[in-house]
Chains A and B, each alone.
Chain A
Amino acid sequence: MTDATSFPPGTGSGGRPTDPARRPLVVSPHLARRYARERRFRLLGLASVATAGLILLILLGSIVSKGYSAFWQYNVDLTIEFSAEELNPDGGPVDMETLRRANYLALVRDSLKREFPDAAGDRSERRKLYGLVSPNADIVLRSMVLEDPGLIGTTQTVTIKLSDDMDTFAKGYIDRNLPEGDRRVTDLEIGWFDHLNSEGRIHAAFNVDFFTQGDSREPEEAGIYGALIGSILTLMVTLLVSFPIGVMAAVYLEEFAPKNRLTDLIEVNINNLAAVPSIVFGLLGLAVFLNFFGLPRSAPLVGGLVLALMTLPTIIIASRSALKAVPPSIREAALGLGASPLQVVTHHVLPLAMPGILTGTIIGMAQALGETAPLLMIGMVAFIVDIPQSFTDPATVLPVQVYIWADSPERAFVEKTSAAIMVLLGFLVLMNAIAVLLRKRFERRW
């Protein structure tokens, strides 16, 4: 702290030199306390910022540390015999329909049986053996054969996904030192795994399927692409509905509406709407869009409409403050030149307010992207495997996908949940970054 007595002597208030004898510089006893208060205040502020930062760091840290492993998947190289008896039991010319229906799972099982002949005897052991790899492994083989029927009769090394339990074990989430009864994988499975691993046939690869597939009951097959498309379709509806309505409402209220009781009432109610819990909008959507208008359940169309209701107040409020921020002198200048009120708005006020309006809209959209509760009400919480193709197809959205996965019992969904959260956060950060960029790019030009 600066010593109060070190101030240059002889400068009184107003910078006028005063006679030190007449007006001595007193070191007030209050001074030390005032300085201490200021220091305490700054420390408190610093501590608040640090706490907020720490909480954010813990949150992100826990999500990333749990979720990063979902971005790769352990696979095993199996020697698959594409036997003609299995794929084309009738013999004769190869026919696509037969190939499509053939039992590819048997190929995988045969391969595993050849690998571990000891397990072939016992039924439950056999089931465990088959459970080493994903039950959807046949899809890979089928598409291989359909693409190139020449494979029939040959023997190939094929990379096949491990099942979710084995994948989880490979990632080290299951402790092999626990007693056998306390863990998901048995000693036998660990033995098989170690054998394959020692031959170097188990390796990790980037989990492309996580980004290209829809939901699945099998964690190793589950992806977020379906939810992502659902989110995009839903947000498109939200944007198309709420942006024009919100901006028009804001422009009318700000630029044209007379200031009277009615408009005051409308303003108060818009502010109130912004504070309505989102689940209420969901119930409204259920009652109006589904039950009254009979729109399809679980559809992005309805989800988008519900979220549009929720986003409208945000957009209207942001747009109005952006319009308010345009200086009146610009309006006067245009009016003084003989521009009509509509020309004043469309030529001058709206273009100047647009960055602010877009910022508000993006923030509203980001809110809508993260919203779960109202969508639960209109059935977007359903388990949907197919990628939605249109606005009326059943769909789910990213936050609801997070909710569904967090609710699933399989251990492997824990990392999927965190990974989905990371994707969701990534989009939110991206949208907010665009909003910040817009604001910076078009900052006050007058």
Chain B
Amino acid sequence: MTEPSTPTRDVTVAAKPPGPEQLANRYTKVQSRDVNVYYGEKHALKHVDLDVYENEVTALIGPSGCGKSTFLRCLNRMNDVIDICRVTGRISLDDHDIYDPSLDVVQLRARVGMVFQKPNPFPKSIYDNIAYGPRIHGIAHGKAELDEIVQKSLERAGLWKEVSDRLDQPGTGLSGGQQQRLCIARAIAVNPEVILMDEPCSALDPIATARIEELIDELRENFTIVIVTHSMQQAARVSQRTAFFHLGDLVEVGETEAIFTNPEDSRTQGYITGRFG
């Protein structure tokens, strides 16, 4: 199984920075204020204030263990699964507190989808992988509608052409890059508003990575994306805004171009120039 078309787009040219008009009009999709995360005694994330704007890609960068993945997992409350994890502060989606006790976490996760570091398709058919989300949320009414959702999701993830003739085969039989696109298709099948991506390319080869990056840029039109990445080049290529975390602190956040060309903090400067990390 080979990755199809290599991307024609020059990925080094960053996605177009928003013009001043757009900057003024952008809508804060996710807002975090004074977010702290504790793992038992460990203070893993300290006083994070971060805004994520709609239809933009926000990249979270920083050295290992800096808390960027922890922050990402707060946004759809995946940290709830961990017994010793405690979150304080306020995170809101469309100005609704997502840690409100009256909020149902299942519905939150339907609105905030997630793609993981390692491609993790279910050991079921490609079709069932995509159809699972719509099924449990009762999105599709009838087989025809479900078929349509599956096809559309695969098309948007750029996978339809490659798998349309073998939807009944197991998703685990695809190549790594295809599996990750399958996971993205699975996430968008429930029509979320925000997609969280936790190092989605770290287990993939450069060609598959480029394919995913291209896909992320396309998805930006319809979704708000937050991506954790270890690769600064990737952050530069795909994101409009970048947040740099270090030892649990949010050191600096700003337009990607500004962060990479003219960082304000010396730690950011040190990290992006490769002095540490």
Contacts and interface: CB of A to CB of B under 8 A. Distances in A.
Interface of A: 258-259, 327, 329-340, 343, 347-348, 352, 445-446
Nearest to B115: A336
A334 B133 CA distance: 8
B63 interface: no
Contact of A446 (B76, B114, B123, B187): B123
Contacts of A335: 78, 81, 109
B136 A343 contact: yes
B254 interface: no
Contacts of B121: 333
Contacts of B110: 337-338
A334 B186 CA distance: 10
A337 B78 contact: no
A189 B145 CA distance: 88
A332 B117 CA distance: 11
B174 to A, nearest CB: 13
Among all A-B residue pairs, the 6 with the closest Cβ atoms: A336-B114, A338-B109, A329-B120, A338-B110, A445-B123, A337-B133
- Assign chain B's interface to a size class: 20 to 34
A332 B133 contact: no
B180 to A, nearest CB: 12
A339 B113 CA distance: 11
B29 interface: no
B50 to A, nearest CB: 20
A356 B47 CA distance: 45
Given A336-B76, A337-B109, A329 B81 contact: no
8 contacts: A333-B121, A334-B122, A334-B132, A336-B114, A336-B116, A337-B186, A348-B122, A446-B172
A348 B136 CA distance: 13
B132 A338 contact: no
B83 A259 contact: yes
B106 A338 contact: yes
B118 interface: yes
Interface string B123-158: 100000000110011000000000000000000000
Contacts of B81: 331-332, 335
A338 B123 contact: no
Given A329-B116, A329-B120, A446-B172, A336 B106 contact: no
Given A336-B114, A338-B190, A446-B172, A352 B123 contact: yes
B107 interface: yes
A331 B114 CA distance: 13
Contacts of B83: 258-259
A340 B116 CA distance: 18
Interface in B64-123: 76, 78, 81, 83, 106-110, 113-116, 118, 120-123
Contacts of A259: 83
Majority SS at the chain A contact face = helix
B236 interface: no
B170 interface: yes
A22 B115 CA distance: 56
A337 B113 contact: yes
A431 B107 CA distance: 45
A330 B106 contact: no
Interface string B168-208: 00101000000000010011001000000000000000000
B237 to A, nearest CB: 25
A338 B136 contact: yes
Contacts of B186: 333, 337
Contacts of A258: 83
A347 B187 CA distance: 17
A352 B186 CA distance: 20
B72 to A, nearest CB: 11
The CB with the most chain B CB atoms within 10 A, among A258, A259, A332, A340, is that of A332
Contacts of B133: 337-338
A420 to B, nearest CB: 44
A62 to B, nearest CB: 47
A329 B121 CA distance: 9
A330 B109 contact: no
A309 B111 CA distance: 46
A348 B57 CA distance: 31
B136 A339 contact: yes
A336 B136 contact: no
B200 to A, nearest CB: 12
Contact of A337 (B118, B123, B190): B190
B71 to A, nearest CB: 16
A329 B132 contact: no
